[in-house]
């Protein structure tokens, strides 16, 4: 239970900085006397770092172990956030974004594989719900400090202190990380890690990567453009549109808690299928002419539908492809997910700017249906191994 608590806390800490930059940047850009667009440069650097560290996760984790990789990765993110607090130039924040992205990607890939190998699917759902807790808490912490002059510095300093506290806990509990690995029959300790190229060529892996690309594109695209869609197409006020966008993210977080409760009675494949179907229903609520309140509530349905897809597909990875290959495949999945998150939402913006925001539901429906097709084909992949869980 102590190790599981540390794992949950680590995922809360992973979510803490994710939405903070957007909340603080209007104030930071004013203090630095730079344009708002520089936030995009910092965000791209963070995303690039997460992709790189996700691709390296299998090899690094194999040689150093999950506990050490996690401890040093969280240390890197803590130092980056501390550097943000004392930065006086936007270039320094761009440079500090490098270790922040590398650390976040390593934590994400290593922890997902560790939980997939050693714990039941309910814990994977709870794990990703705790990320939502962190992603929600981060902006609230920052908002509390933004009321004062230069308050964003205190906000980042507070986030750094939280991360350093977790670093101390992680280094203190390093011996605990070896126990579950012994219990899960992970016997190929002395073999070389599976390379990304070898993992890429395993039957079914490309389908899983496509599922993650579609999923993260849909989640990030909805989160970024839903408010603009509601204001320009449905005529909602900015405050109401922001509220329903927040409800979308709340749907994801709450849905994963519920999935954790349901995981004891339903297989992961069923939860994923139900989630994607619910997602499609929600998108249709945006697409078709329905009462305004129904259209707005559709965002909640999309969020609830998103909830089971990411964690349960992740948890199925060792079963589908084998324990020895799971870390490499999860690393590839993380990298593909980050690419979708980084590339597709801006591409949507270009389409909306050239054509119309009314195309948002159509694009989301295309992503959701493609995801369902790939996920159902993936379900026909023959299981590679059986796991014994704690």
End-of-domain residue from the set 177, 210, 232: 177
CA distances from 225 to 232, 241, 243, 245, 359 (A): 11, 10, 13, 9, 11
- Written as one string, the DSSP assignment of 306-353 is HTTHHHHHHHTHHHHH-HHHHHHHHHHHHHHHHHHHHHHHHHHHHHHH
pLDDT of residue 338: 86
> What confidence category does residue 96 fall into, taking pLDDT thresholds of 50, 70 and 90?
very high
CA distances from 62 to 58, 162, 221 (A): 6, 28, 34
Q: Which positions ≥6 away from 236 have C-beta within 8 Å?
A: 230, 244, 292, 296
pLDDT for 12 beyond 50? yes
Residue with tokens 């990030």: 220
Does one domain contain both 26 and 167? yes
Could you tell me how many residues make up the chain?
390
**Domain contains 182:** no
pLDDT tens, residue by residue, 292-311: 778 888 999 999 999 999 88
pLDDT of residue 37: 67
**Domain contains 291:** yes
Does one domain contain both 209 and 281? yes
Contact, 293 vs 330, CB < 8 A? no
CA distance 231 to 252: 22
Does one domain contain both 227 and 81? no
> What confidence category does residue 384 fall into, taking pLDDT thresholds of 50, 70 and 90?
low
With pLDDT > 70 as the criterion, what percentage of the chain qualifies?
Answer: 92
pLDDT of residue 208: 93
Does one domain contain both 298 and 335? yes
CA distance 261 to 279: 20
**Domain contains 192:** no
Looking at every residue in the chain, the average pLDDT score rounds to: 84
CA distance 241 to 246: 9
Helices 121-145 and 238-262, interaxial angle, to 10°?
150
Does one domain contain both 158 and 240? no
pLDDT tens, residue by residue, 75-94: 999 999 999 999 988 899 99
pLDDT of residue 187: 42
CATH of the domain at 161: 1.20.1250.20
Predicted TM-score (pTM) of the model is: 0.79
> What confidence category does residue 377 fall into, taking pLDDT thresholds of 50, 70 and 90?
very high
Does one domain contain both 206 and 301? yes
Q: Report CA 270 to chain centroid distance, whole Å.
A: 21
Dig out the tokens for 129 from the structure. 């719900």
pLDDT for 285 beyond 80? yes
Does one domain contain both 204 and 152? no
pLDDT tens, residue by residue, 218-262: 988 888 788 778 888 888 777 677 778 778 888 888 898 899 888
Does one domain contain both 227 and 130? no
> What confidence category does residue 186 fall into, taking pLDDT thresholds of 50, 70 and 90?
very low
Dig out the tokens for 298 from the structure. 């559709």
**Domain contains 236:** yes
Neighbours of 226 (CB within 10 A): 26
Q: Degrees (nearest 5) of the Cα angle 276, 280, 115?
A: 20
Contact, 363 vs 225, CB < 8 A? no
Contact, 211 vs 361, CB < 8 A? no
CA distance 328 to 311: 17
End-of-domain residue from the set 177, 211, 242: 177
Does one domain contain both 145 and 225? no
Does one domain contain both 37 and 139? yes
Q: Degrees (nearest 5) of the Cα angle 380, 386, 390?
A: 130
Does one domain contain both 344 and 213? yes
Number of domains in the chain: 2
**Which domain, by its residues, includes 322?**
198-379
**Domain contains 204:** yes
Neighbours of 112 (CB within 10 A): 27
Does one domain contain both 27 and 85? yes
Half-sphere exposure of 168 (CA within 13 A, CB side): 5
């Amino acid at each position: 239970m102590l190790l599981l608590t540390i794992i949950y806390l680590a995922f809360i800490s992973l979510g803490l900085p994710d939405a903070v930059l957007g909340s603080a940047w209007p104030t930071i850009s004013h203090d630095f006397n730079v344009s708002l667009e520089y936030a995009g440069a910092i965000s791209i650097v963070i995303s690039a770092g997460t992709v790189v560290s996700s691709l390296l996760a299998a090899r690094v984790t194999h040689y150093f172990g999950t506990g050490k990789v996690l401890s040093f990765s969280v240390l890197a993110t803590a130092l980056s956030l501390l550097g943000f607090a004392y930065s006086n130039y936007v270039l320094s924040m761009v440079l500090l974004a490098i270790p922040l992205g590398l650390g976040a990607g390593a934590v994400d890939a290593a922890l997902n594989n560790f939980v997939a190998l050693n714990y039941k699917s309910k814990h994977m759902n709870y794990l990703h719900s705790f990320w939502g807790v962190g992603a929600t808490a981060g902006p609230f912490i920052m908002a509390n400090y933004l009321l004062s002059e230069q308050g964003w510095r205190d906000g980042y300093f507070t986030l750094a202190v939280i991360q350093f506290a977790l670093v101390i806990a992680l280094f203190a509990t390093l011996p605990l990380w070896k126990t579950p690995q012994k219990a899960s029959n992970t016997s190929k300790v002395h073999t070389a890690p599976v390379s990304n190229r070898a993992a890429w060529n395993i039957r079914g892996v490309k389908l899983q990567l496509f599922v993650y690309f579609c999923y993260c594109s849909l989640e990030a695209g909805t989160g970024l453009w839903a408010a603009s869609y509601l204001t320009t197409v449905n005529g909602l006020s900015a405050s109401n549109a922001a509220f329903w966008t927040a409800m979308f993210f709340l749907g994801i977080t709450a849905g994963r808690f519920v999935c954790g409760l349901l995981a004891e009675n339903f297989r992961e494949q069923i939860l994923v299928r139900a989630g994607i179907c619910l997602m499609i229903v929600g998108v249709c609520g945006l697409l078709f002419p329905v009462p305004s309140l129904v259209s707005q509530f559709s965002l909640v349905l999309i969020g609830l539908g998103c909830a089971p897809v990411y964690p349960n597909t992740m948890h199925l990875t060792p079963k589908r492809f084998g324990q020895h290959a799971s870390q490499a495949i999860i690393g590839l999945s993380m990298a593909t997910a980050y690419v979708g998150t980084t590339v597709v939402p801006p591409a949507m913006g270009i389409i909306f700017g050239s054509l119309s925001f009314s195309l948002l539901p159509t694009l989301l429906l295309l992503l959701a249906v493609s995801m369902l097709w790939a996920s159902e084909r993936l379900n026909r992949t023959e299981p590679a191994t059986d796991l014994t869980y704690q």
